[in-house]
Amino acid sequence: MHSVDVKSILIGGLLVALVLCLMGPATYPKTGYLGQYHIETNQDFAFVLDTITGQVWSAKANDKSGNYIDPNSSFSLPKNW
């Protein structure tokens, strides 16, 4: 019967852990900025904040008649990267 060498198991486990640690880091794609735009809302207003330039867009989110943000307003247009 073969005995298990504890030293070999320990070295093998450490090598596996090292490989997993080296494979872990990942980079984000370089398209735009991650988290550049933040959206906040409450019952009355909606805001979009560009964290790079500091520009803020706001719109009345809901009026008493139940109307929501106009899809044709400048608030709803795509923001430039």
Q: Read off the pTM.
A: 0.43
DSSP E strands, 7-54: 37-41, 45-50
CA gap 50, 55 in Å, rounded: 5
Contact 48, 32 (CB under 8 A): no
CA gap 19, 48 in Å, rounded: 42
pLDDT cut 90: percent of the chain above it = 14
Quick: pLDDT tens for 3-21: 888 898 999 999 999 998 8
Query: In this structure, how many other beta carbons lie within 10 angstroms of the beta carbon of residue 59?
Result: 16
